[in-house]
Amino acid sequence: MSSITIQKVKIEKEKGVVVLPILEYKKLLQQSIPTHYLYGKDAKKLDRLVAEGLKEYKAGKTIKAKSLREALKIYGRQGH
């Protein structure tokens, strides 16, 4: 069996370490992310919304911000 050395300073800085088997980790990942499927009108509506957003992004009409609050402030200043 192989051994792993982890610096105590690193563990303290990260506030701990968790060691899990890969399969267990994958199960946890799958359980933590909800999966939603849209059908019919809802799916088409979302597809149009995404397409519109991509067009605006390519046209340079989007806002870069670190948070939603910052984006709303910038958006408000632009007179929208």
Closest among 36, 24, 58 to 50, alpha carbons compared: 58
62 pLDDT more than 70:
yes
- What's residue 44's pLDDT? 93
CA distance 65 to 75: 10
50 pLDDT more than 90:
yes
pTM for this prediction:
0.43
Contact 14, 6 (CB under 8 A): no
Predicted confidence band of residue 4 (pLDDT cuts 50, 70, 90): confident
Higher-confidence residue of 22 and 74: namely: 22
Q: Averaged over 33-58, what is the pLDDT?
A: 90
Q: Averaged over 20-45, what is the pLDDT?
A: 88
